[in-house]
Chains A and B, each alone.
Chain A
Amino acid sequence: MMNRTLSRKLLGSMCGISSPRLSFAQSAVNTVQRQKELIKSRELEKDELRPLYMDFQATTPMDPRVLDAMLPYQVNYYGNPHSRTHAYGWESESAMEKARKQVADLIGADPREIVFTSGATESNNMSIKGVARFYKAKKNHIITTQTEHKCVLDSCRILEAEGFDITYLPVRNNGLIDLKQLEETIRPDSSLVSIMTVNNEIGVKQPIKEIGQLCRSKNVFFHTDAAQAVGKIPINVSDWKVDLMSISGHKIYGPKGVGALYVRRRPRVRIEPLQNGGGQERGLRSGTVPTPLVVGLGAACEIAQQELEYDHKRVTVLANRLVQKMMSEIPDVVMNGDPDQRYPGCINLSFAYVEGESLLMALKDVALSSGSACTSASLEPSYVLRAIGADEDLAHSSIRFGIGRFTTEEEVDYTVEKCIQQVKRLREMSPLWEMVQEGIDLKSIKWTQH
């Protein structure tokens, strides 16, 4: 199964064309108008071997310890935690409260400050819309960044339609925000600053402690989407002066469909609830709390706390191994995002003169992604890469490698080998690569339509 661009390149090289045909070279560069089909979705055949999983930012497999903790609540302890009159309810409630404590302990919070939700998307929606709408009378301004998760940006877009004023802070080339710029942007009528802790596409870690300090001094609430950071780097909401924090279950080897929101009690943060009903979860999120899922989330948080140092050490070693090998064997590889202020397990590399989708198709033995799962449906390059100022063609050649708790050295070596092999092969077929080898400066070329 070949796409048009790839077949054209093959055709070009087979016909012995030495001078590059500008029309299809242009199509490789001018990517917005491409008509190529995306990687066809297709389930594995019965005997087909499963690809290696290297996409830990999209989701993570459940830790066996988490599944073990959840099963009793799926089989026998099936009571509703809000039932007050019988043992089924009491045992379910006690499990829910135990899970609450486990989540709170991981981030240095009080259990009463944790609200269970259906995931980080719901938590983000709740905090942004909730804070904005509650303090609407006096405060009308919200600040966020251009590299936030889609749910944050979309919530802000909806608020704009309601009449709020939103500032989308730009980021520097390394993906980090400028603290000075943030300080200047905060106004007396700013109610909320929302900046994610670790970015899911490029892995950069924002200076949360400094931002928290700044927001506290200016009396603005600070929300952070910590879905990719919880359980991976040490977090303390008091140290960081964070007022709201979103947590996702399926990013920390827990079940899908559950998350949590940390809502500070001192000083109190008020939220207008999104979901109304029986008043569960302090009235902030009505609805039966799914005991098996929150037990899973709690177990995942406890395991993450125990394994944090061990995992972090391993992931750093594996990540360095991957990057060193990759960069030493092939030229023109760019790592997107700050090399130091990052979580090591999320590596976003751009391979110049190679198309991202073609490389992903060629690496069919490894489960990878280019850009985040929620934006990969469209042909547009990731908005995060665009925000950090990546060149248009480099943005299209980016692949995100995810390393997690279960990744082995063999998997990393296999991935790197295959990647190097395929990049070399694709570059051989690329007319742009040919031109670069001949010493032509691609930026000086005037591409024309035929």
Chain B
Amino acid sequence: MAASSREHVLSLYRLLLKESKKFPSYNYRTYALRRVRDAFRENRTVEDPKVVEGLLNRARDSLALIQRQVSIGKMYEVQKTVIEQEEKKSD
């Protein structure tokens, strides 16, 4: 039971990160990635199954939200910001 729920949490985490990477806007993309990582890290030690379920539901809602907002961002895409060029150069 515990093993599968851990798998579940990890797969949700990976999905959230995968979707967040698709944000066309630099600021939204970096925020989503950072916030998702920090939120999962913060709640790493939570034991109470009710609380865990609540958090997972929030994560699922966030996933749907990110998917919608990524689509909207792509519909109204604009030029990249200066810093993205800098990141490319340093890579």
Contact = CB atoms under 8 A, between A and B. Distances in A.
Given A48-B79, A50-B78, A365-B82, A406 B68 contact: no
B80 A50 contact: yes
A161 interface: no
A410 B80 contact: no
Interface of A: 44, 46-53, 61, 64-65, 67-68, 310, 365-366, 405-408, 410-411, 414
Contact of A310 (B38, B81, B83, B84): B38
A49 B69 contact: no
Contacts of B65: 64-65, 68
Nearest to B28: A64
Given A65-B65, A365-B82, A406 B30 contact: yes
A242 B31 CA distance: 34
A381 B72 CA distance: 41
B86 interface: yes
Contacts of A65: 65
Contact of A411 (B68, B72, B83, B85): B83
B63 interface: no
B79 A52 contact: no
B64 to A, nearest CB: 9
A64 B81 contact: no
A408 B66 CA distance: 19
B30, B32, B38, B81 interface centre (most CB from chain A within 10 Å): B81
Contacts of B45: none
26 contacts: A49-B80, A49-B82, A49-B85, A50-B78, A50-B79, A50-B81, A50-B82, A51-B81, A51-B82, A52-B83, A64-B32, A64-B65, A64-B66, A64-B69, A67-B69, A67-B72, A68-B69, A365-B82, A406-B27, A406-B30, A406-B31, A407-B27, A408-B27, A408-B83, A410-B86, A414-B83
Interface of B: 27-28, 30-32, 38, 65-66, 68-69, 72, 78-87
A51 B80 CA distance: 9
B27 A61 contact: yes
Contact of A46 (B68, B79, B84, B86): B79
Nearest to B26: A408
Given A64-B65, A68-B68, A52 B82 contact: yes
Contacts of B31: 405-406
B87 to A, nearest CB: 7
Nearest to A366: B82
A310 to B, nearest CB: 7
A51 B27 CA distance: 12
A406 B32 CA distance: 9
Contacts of A366: 82
B30, B65, B82, B87 interface centre (most CB from chain A within 10 Å): B82
A67, A310, A366, A406 interface centre (most CB from chain B within 10 Å): A406
A288 B10 CA distance: 46
A310 B37 CA distance: 13
Nearest to B34: A408
Contacts of B82: 49-52, 365-366, 414
Contacts of B69: 64, 67-68
Contacts of A46: 79
B60 to A, nearest CB: 14
A406 B79 contact: no
A403 to B, nearest CB: 12
Nearest to A405: B31
Contact of B83 (A44, A47, A405, A410): A410
Nearest to A406: B27
Given A405-B31, A406-B31, 12 more contacts: A44-B79, A49-B84, A52-B82, A64-B65, A64-B69, A68-B69, A406-B28, A408-B27, A408-B30, A410-B87, A414-B82, A414-B83
Nearest to B38: A310
A60 to B, nearest CB: 10
A78 to B, nearest CB: 19
Nearest to B79: A50
A368 to B, nearest CB: 13
Nearest to A404: B27
B51 to A, nearest CB: 16
A411 B65 CA distance: 26
B37 to A, nearest CB: 12
A251 to B, nearest CB: 16
Contacts of A310: 38
A263 B85 CA distance: 48
A48 B68 CA distance: 27
